[in-house]
Structure 1
Amino acid sequence: MRLALLKIILWPKNDRFSPRVIPFLPDKINVITGESATGKSSLTAIVDYCLGSGKCAIPVGLIRDLTEWFGLHIKLANTEMIVARRNPGDQQTTTDLYWVEGLDLEIPNRIEKNGRVDDLKNRMDQVAQLPHLELSGDESVGFGSRPSFRDMAAFNFQPQHIVANPYTLFFKADTTEHREKLRAIFPLVLGAVNASTLAKQRELKDITKEHDRLRRELEARLKAAKAWEAEIESYYLQAKALGLLPDAPNPDSTWNLDRFVIELQPVPANVKKLDIPEIKEGTGEEAVNQLTEIIGEEDRLARQMGAVRQRLSKLDQLSESVGEYGSTLTGQKDRMLGVGWLERKLSSKHMCPVCYAVHEHGNENLGELQKLAHELGVLANSVAQAPAKLDQELADLRKELRNLEQDISKIRKKRQFLESASQELSSQRQRVRQVYLFVGRVEQALENLSASRNVGELGDRVKDLSRRIQELKDDLDPRAQRERERAAIESVSSRIHDYARDLQLEHAAENVRLNIRELSLQFTSLSGRTDFLWEVGSGQNWVGYHVSCLLALHEHFVGLSSSPVPQFLVIDQPSQVYFPEAWPSLEDTPGGKSADIEGVHRIFAALSKFLDELDEPFQIIVTEHAGAITWHGLGNIHVVANWRDGHDDFLIPRSWHDVEHNG
């Protein structure tokens, strides 16, 4: 995929300043050299973020504090793009995007959101000619989803924490998600699998499902045809019993299914000739109406009987309560009889029979007591008259209940008569209905039998799909795919060996091989022992094999007829294993070079040789502590900037943060 970075652009939050623009050449080794903390390593994160990264890895601090938008000016095969993403601020990321595409684009001073990151990803997928199909036809395989332009970033970036990492060879392969997806896309990027292969995998998956469905349907029809044999024979016997086949012979052991079918076919026509009893129109409706009225009258009488029974029960309870109350009042009245005698004796001057005292006046309390005794007597007389009235009421209710019982008895006899008549009519109708239903079942059975036996077209379709499935399996022969994959790995591994030899790395004489399962390099010595990159010592070896592997892979990608991997590589601080603390000399070439300087020089020499041997333009961006001494005398070098005091401005211009500090 033709893609080169023409510019990295930063738009400041302070609109008094113009955008910060860092230009690059599309077919050179673009070098930015400088001191620590000048923003060199941030360039990798900026490029990755602007190309649609899910998270923003741009360091928090001065860069994010002063920059509003991060952007790129990109050159594609036939067009250019300016893409920019907004500073996410306190968030991990943002989907806000500015995007313009065309030729001879100019960088705007201020920009506003006009799209989303997903729009850019879709466009890049289209430019990379990535298939719109899953990598795996097996739904149970994880991380086999559609390949994305973002997946290709594994081959475009070697940030500082990766370039000399013995455990991680590829960008973002230190996380499970990216590592598994990288394993899945490797056959595609190596050319062992292409869009046509994925399309055939998808077709195989789809028609296999269709084949299985049609095969099950075919088996079901054949099974149903056997089941209908017994059904058809049973229907023949029933048709004879119902008189629908009066002249048909009795079946014997020589009859096959076709004979039963032939004999049953006249049944529908014979029904029209039967002497089926005529039922007068409206007869059933009239009987139903009468029965409905009778049932309604019965319900009404039943409700009345219920109400009478309820009243009768309550009056019985009341009569019993009144009797008990009257008995209680009579007892109390009898106990009050002595009050009158005592009042008469004590109503005038008298002597107390207890203390023999003489009293001149009557006793007021006895008067009150006598009043109560009188009221009690009146109440007892009233209660004594109540049972007679209640008895009359109870007698009337019992008579009403008997009358209702007689009426409902008559109604039920009428209902029984009407129901008998209705059942006879229903039975007559049922016999007619039975005949017609049977004829319908016979017709349906004959039709189903015909359909179940007519499987020629379905069988042909199953055979066609079986042939196509076999063709696809032959084309998708996993052995052939593995052979293409093996050949690609052998080619890449051979070039890794060549670059390792140029870099004078240890173990270069051994059989070095790319292991796409482990996503690492493995070394097989003459003794037969296999070691992986993390088992090989020395930072010089680690960074050297990282560079060798990425160059060999890109050489392979460029050689394919079509590759989705962008043709650029960003390497950050490859000299870190040689000069971990400080760069000893900046520009001047001393009389004799140290072994460390020679080691870094060999890296730049390998990068330059890589560009010389390619037939197509390829872009490399290197951010380095190292100075010109490490690439002195090499071709294809383009020094973009020197971010040291007294030389070029750093990533964030001094004027931006001077204003910020002076505020």
Structure 2
Amino acid sequence: MQVKSIILYNYDGDTRTLPFKLGAVNIITGQSRTGKSSVINILDYCMGRPTFTIFEGVNRDVVAWYAVLLQVGDTQVFLAKPAPAGQAASQTRGYIETATEITVPTLAQLQPNTNDEGITSALSSLLGIAPNQTLGPAGINLDSFQATMQHAKYYLFQNQSLVANAKQLFWRQDEEGIPRHIRETLPYFLGAILDDRQAKLAELDKLQRGLKRLQSKSREADALFGKQAENGRTLLAEAQAAGLLEAIVPDTQVIAELQRLVTWEPGQGVAINNSPLEQARTQLREVQRDFRDKQREIEEAEEYLSKEEGFSSAVTDHSDRLRAVHAFGTEAEHAHKCPVCDSTLQEVPPSVAALTASLSRMQADLTDVKRERPQLEQYLSGLRAQLEDIRQNMSTSSQLVATLSTERENGQRLRDLELRAARVVGKIEMHLSNTELVEDQADLRERIEAGKKYIKDFLESLSSDEVDDIVDSSLSVIAEDMTEWASDLAMEHAGYPHRLDRRKLTVVADRDRIITMERMGSGENWLGCHLICLLAMHKFFIERDRPVPHFLVLDQPSQVYFPQIDGVSRAYQQLDGTVQDLEAVGGDVLAVRRMFVLLFKVVTLMSPKLQVIVTEHANLDTPEFQRALVEAPWTNGRALIPQNWLTTKVK
């Protein structure tokens, strides 16, 4: 994880991007009050810290959102947080986006989609910080916590007041509770607390809960033991009352008799849903339904036949009346003569023709009806025969239902007795299971003792002694680089072993006596202790693939090489980032060059896995220094915040 850029948004939506080179030394130089020291605070704030430590004034008045673009392997992470509203000193809402390549969002697109906890969790996961648990101050599970991305920050930032501090070595070390967090998370970041420790602690918890269950079971068995004989005798009395037992059983045979009784099985009971009675009742309902349906068919057929008979009778009567037409001969003979006076007619009367046609149609219909009637009578006769068969089936089913109902009433008493006996047998089964528990007490005690020994051995495998040994070994490796680089910086005690004292959180030099950082004297030595320790730790983290971001930010480290009055270097503060004769203002040019040579040396050694960002007032004319400049020196109006933003008002 390295820093690709810092992005600021003003209230009009304009952006200011400060780019950085990955795997290299990045230098920002310029005059005072241009925003260089805000780089650390912006990174800290955007990476999940709620407290707003970015300096007030124009920064808060014109910047709406602060953002950081991180490169994590092949993944980019964009983090952004708005400035706190009003006079608030903290703000937890934020925006996060991950992709192979991020397109920087516009101000309108920045809508909070997470909070500081979500940012911390996401960054911890991307770094590969596995579930872990620190060693508490007084034991394995006492007041312990998980190391996260927030704890990795202790090794990333060195602001102006810290970078050469005689009493504090790590970021935020002067805040309450932070020294303890540094001490207890350092073993994890060094690899002394393995990633599987959390799983082992979960297994330990499971073992301890299992042991408690066995111990509880043993106590219950002891309580049951005293009541075993009494309960057994009571159950035998209940079995005798239920008809399961006749003879009196001796005390020595109680368990054996109970074991015999538990094999008792009741007779086959009548299940209500699938009983023969219910089946017979279902069959009777079906037959009754068929009987009603068949009756309906017969009624419909009889009604049809009755209507047909009425039709036939009506047609016959009408046909007889119409036959009078034939008294006048054929239509051809009498078509033009009056049937009454025999006079000749000019036209044939319509009524005669109509009557003749109507008579023909009625005679045809009457013939059809007479032809269908035998078939209808035969169909109706068949329906009546089917109805009689159904009536017989219905009578048989009714008799079966009555018989089964009687049998069911007679069997109810037997089932009541079986149910009572079954309840007694169930109580006997429960009693015997508890009795078996009591009988297995010896085996249970052996399992409890074996569990205690196993847990004791497990605890020893997780003891802090093993962790301490690994931490001490790791710090010895780190000390080798610290000692070498102390000579590169020409520190006061160069040539003697330098190491990190993890309990006091300081650097010590081992001579004939232990010399702590604050007793070494001079800001040059204090700065040197910070540089050699943090660079050596980053080298170790990278080589051991530990989950710590691969960047280090140093704020104005060369200030210690200029004359100071009351702890302040006026000459250094007056530098404006342009190339100047540092000796002319009293600077130790050789020491400044040694410091940057060491930074370039270590970054090159670890390339491309280490990034160093330095903010400075000084500007060296060496090619290496000039290539490392992120931008032109921040002077003559150039700064972190563009000049044209200063007229933008908060909206």
Fold match, TM over 0.5?
yes
User: TM-score, normalized by length of structure 2?
Assistant: 0.65
Secondary structure of the residue that 1:91 maps to in structure 2?
coil
Consecutive unaligned residues in structure 1, runs of 5 or more: 252-257, 271-435
Partner of 1:88, secondary structure, is: coil
Cα distance in 2, alignment partners of residues 269 and 7 from structure 1: 80
Please point out which of 631, 635, 638 is paired with 2:628. Answer: 638
Matched with 1:499 is 485
Pair 1:538-2:522 in alignment: yes
| Corresponding residue SS for 1:7 | strand
Deviations 1:477-517 (A, max 9, x none): 54332221110011112222222121111233444321222
8 Å CA contact 2:24–2:608 kept in 1: the answer is no
> Which whole-Å CA distance do the structure 1 matches of 2:492 and 2:165 have between them?
16
Q: 1:439 to 1:4 in 2, by over 3 A?
A: closer
In the other structure, the counterpart of 2:126 is 127
Q: Is 1:193–2:182 an aligned residue pair? A: no
Check conservation: 1:225, 1:453, Cα contact below 8 A: no
State the partner residue of 1:261.
255
Q: Is the 8 A contact 1:164 1:577 kept in 2?
A: yes
The amino acid that maps onto 1:188 is Y
CA contact (8 A) 1:12 1:67 kept: yes
Structure 2 residue 98 is the aligned partner of structure 1 residue 98:
no
In 2: Cα distance, 1:655 partner to 1:217 partner? 78
Q: 1:191: how far off?
A: 0.8
Matches within 5 A, 1:516-531: 516-526=502-512, 529-531=513-515
**Equivalent position of 1:489 in the other structure:** 475
Secondary structure in 1 aligned to 2:631? Answer: strand
Deviation at 1:177, TM superposition (A): 2.6
Structure 1 segment 31-46 matched on structure 2, within 5 A? 31-46=27-42
Aligned with 1:25 (options 15, 21, 25): 21
The alpha carbon displacement at 1:642 in A equals: 4.2
Is contact 2:69-2:79 (8 Å) kept? yes
**Residue 133 of structure 1: how far off its partner (Å):** 4.0
Equivalent position amino acid for 1:645 in 2: T
Contact 1:136 / 1:201 at 8 angstroms: preserved in 2?
A: no
In structure 2, distance between residues paired with 1:600 and 1:70: 32
Give the C-alpha shift of residue 114 in structure 1.
3.8
Matched position secondary structure for 1:58: coil
Please point out which of 83, 86, 105 is paired with 1:87: 83
The 8 Å contact of residues 24 and 604 in structure 2, kept in 1 or not, is answered as: no
Counterpart Cα distance in 1 of 2:154 and 2:591: 25
TM-superposition CA deviations, 1:13-62 (whole Å, max 9, x none): 234xx311111101111101111111110111011111111211101101
Taking the aligned partners of 2:606 and 2:249, their CA distance within structure 1 comes to: 92
Give the secondary-structure state (helix, strand or coil) at the position aligned to 1:176: coil
State the alpha-carbon separation in 2 of the partners of residues 659 and 259 from structure 1: 99
Whether 1:566 and 2:549 are equivalent positions in the alignment is yes
Residues 26/235 of structure 1: CA separation in 2 closer, same or farther (3 Å cut): same
Task: Provide the residue aligned with 2:142 in structure 1.
Answer: 141
Q: Does 1:479 align with 2:476?
A: no
Question: Does the 8 Å contact 1:52/1:121 carry over to 2?
Answer: yes
Residue by residue over 1:513-541, the C-alpha shift from the partner in whole angstroms, topping out at 9 and shown as x without a partner, is 21222222233331xx3343223321111
- Alpha-carbon shift at residue 469 of structure 1 (Å): 3.5
1:560-610 deviation per Cα after TM superposition (whole angstroms, max 9, x unaligned): 1x3211000100011222231123774145799966222222211111111
Equivalent in 617, 628, 635 of residue 625 of structure 1:
617
SS at match of 2:107: coil
Paired AA for residue 618 in structure 1? L
Deviation digits for residues 111-133 of structure 1 (CA, Å, limit 9, x no counterpart): 42141223322211210122234
Query: 1:535 is aligned with what amino acid?
Result: R
Alignment of 1:443-454 (within 5 A): 445-454=431-440
SS in 2 for 1:195: coil
Is 1:71 aligned to residue 59 of structure 2?
A: no
Partner letter of residue 476 of structure 1? L
SS of the counterpart of 1:641? coil
Change in CA separation of 1:642 and 1:265 when aligned onto 2, cut-off 3 Å: closer
Q: 8 Å contact 1:133–1:146 — kept in the other structure?
A: yes
Go from structure 1 to structure 2 and tell me whether the alpha carbon gap of 1:633 and 1:264 turns closer, same or farther (over 3 Å shift): closer
In the alignment, residue 97 of structure 1 is paired with which amino acid? G
Task: Please tell me whether residue 577 in structure 1 is matched to residue 560 in structure 2.
Answer: yes
* Structure 2 CA distance for partners of 1:231 and 1:534, relative to 1, 3 Å: farther
Shift of 1:467: 7.2
Deviates more, 1:600-609 or 1:109-118: 109-118
Deviation at 1:186, TM superposition (A): 0.6
Query: How many residues in Structure 1 have an aligned counterpart in Structure 2?
Result: 481
CA distance in 2 between counterparts of 1:492 and 1:599 reads: 23
Q: Distance in 2 between matches of 1:449 and 1:209?
A: 24
Please state whether the residue corresponding to 1:27 is helix, strand or coil. coil
Deviations 1:286-307 (A, max 9, x none): xxxxxxxxxxxxxxxxxxxxxx
Pick which of 494-503 and 541-550 moved more.
Answer: 494-503
Helix, strand or coil at the partner of 2:630: strand
Aligned CA-pair RMSD: 3.9
Matched, 1:655 2:644: yes
- Contiguous gaps of at least 5 residues in structure 2: 265-421, 563-568
Cα offset, 1:210, TM superposition: 2.1
Secondary structure at 2:162 match in 1: coil
Q: CA contact under 8 A between 1:554 and 1:567: conserved in structure 2?
A: yes
Partner of residue 508, structure 1: 494
Q: 1:247 and 1:69, CA in 2 relative to 1: closer, same or farther beyond 3 A?
A: closer
Counterparts of 1:259 and 1:70, CA distance in 2: 85
Q: Counterpart of 1:606?
A: 598
Which residue identity is paired with 2:130?
Answer: P
